[in-house]
Amino acid sequence: PLPQAGGETKPLDHVVDFPAIPAGWAYLDTAATAQKPHAVIDAITRGYACDYATVHRGVYQRSADMTLTYEAARKRVAGFIGATTPDEIVFVRGATEGINLVAQCWAGTQLKAGDRILLSQLEHHSNIVPWQMIAERIGAHIDVIPLTADHCIDLDAMQAMITPAHKLVALAHVSNVLGSVLDGSRAAAIAHSVGAKILLDGCQAVPRLSVDVAALDCDFYVFSGHKLYGPTGIGVLWGKAELLEAMPPYQGGGAMIDRVTFEKTTYAPPPGRFEAGTPHIVGVLGLHAAIDYVEEIGLAAIHAHETALVTKTRAALAQINSVTLYGPEDSAGIVSFSIEGVHPHDIGTILDEAKVAIRAGHHCAQPLMQVLGVDATARASFGVYNSAADVDALVAGIQRVTRIFK
Ligand code: PMP
């Protein structure tokens, strides 16, 4: 049994909730996308098979009911991350779309030539490229916060380098490669000390940490449903109400308007203003079910469970001479490593033969790979369905890799 916070020894045993995980398969790629529990699959099936209708438009009862269900999910998301009102929750396709929306609609209208944007060395490409695109259009510049020796965003360096020319800071709350956890409220305080806004990329944080945007005091927060045991194609952008209200629409179309004439169109207030077109109705229902699922287990229990798996993995891999471990000891649910003389893709392929699924590559973080001095890493990431036996299978597989490549 794995130790839990408080010294108890009760492991999570939720693999039975996941029909796509066959016995004996160690799925260690949750940071890419989480498997789906029955509760989420059932909510999606029910949404299409029993309750399906459009939202916000129909005058018939079924559509009115679906609208209530859809808006109840928005309320559920707001409660889940500590938003002041459901109107601060914008449904998007995923974190990528959420960041692009803020880049286009906030940065694209608020920044001017010469302004600066602050990112970090460990960002996912989706928290780099949208800012580069907007910076190029506007004539703004991007600065990059370095990492500490144990691969966390260096907030002392951030404090030293930030200036009033910085208008926007965008940082990963948890790194998808290293599992490094950001002190989000300290980062927000530093950003606000020069009047900058801060966006936190919560993709890897919401499945493993309790997130409260009010306590973080950030300005924007994004995450994807599919990493939270929910469906693909649905994600969340949270923004402070006054920021969203001041932003122009992202896309034009149905549902985002107040009144349309050929002379002039006026727009709906947030969040509708940012949700053009028929939304991913059933995806939203699946997201609601996913939030219920993780909250029923409890994020503290999930975090303790994943921490125990990370500790066990790092301790075992540290015993193997040819293995290099990246990231901090207290990484949240994610372990990146390399084996001297072996390409990570070969590690991944040999582990697959042993029914261990890991990710190998640059993890959409090529600038971070450059900082680590590698082209790619192997990455094991954990979820509520993993057990100590999965770690044993991983470690045995890695020992086999080292024997093959001796
Ligand atoms: N940020 C981080 C930290 C991520 O891990 C990911 C997904 N790997 C993304 C952003 C992008 O998420 P999505 O592809 O779901 O939009």
* Per-residue pLDDT tens digits for 111-166: 999 999 999 999 999 999 999 999 999 999 999 999 999 999 999 999 999 999 99
Please name the residue ranges forming H helices in 328-375: 344-353, 366-372
Report ipTM (2 d.p.): 0.98
State the closest ligand 1 atom to the C-alpha of 94, by its place in the atom list counted from 1.
16
Residues (pLDDT < 70) of the chain are: 1-11
Give the whole-angstrom CA distance, residue 255 versus residue 186.
38
The whole-number pLDDT of residue 207 equals 98
The whole-number pLDDT of residue 57 equals 81
Q: Is 152 designated active site? A: no
Domain regions of the chain by residue span: 5-30+298-404, 41-295
Q: Is 176 close to ligand 1, i.e. is its CB under 6 Å away?
A: yes
The residue nearest atom 7 of ligand 1, judged by CA position, is 32
| CA 98 / ligand 1 centre spacing (Å) | 10
**Mean pLDDT score across all residues of the chain:** 95
What does R_g of the chain's alpha carbons equal in angstroms?
A: 22
DSSP per-residue letters across 187-200:
HHHHHHHTT-EEEE
Q: Which CATH number fits domain 41-295: 1.10.1030.10, 2.40.70.10, 3.30.70.260, 3.40.640.10?
A: 3.40.640.10
Q: Which two tokens stand for residue 60?
A: 């018939």
- Residue 331 phi/psi, 5-degree rounding, is -55, 145
Classify domain 5-30+298-404 by CATH architecture: Alpha-Beta Complex (3.90)
- Residue 135 phi/psi, 5-degree rounding, is -65, -40
- Choose the residue to mutate in 364, 366, 368, 381 for probing ligand 1, maximizing ligand atoms within 8 Å of C-beta: 364
* Per-residue pLDDT tens digits for 29-75: 999 999 999 999 999 999 999 999 999 987 899 999 999 999 999 99
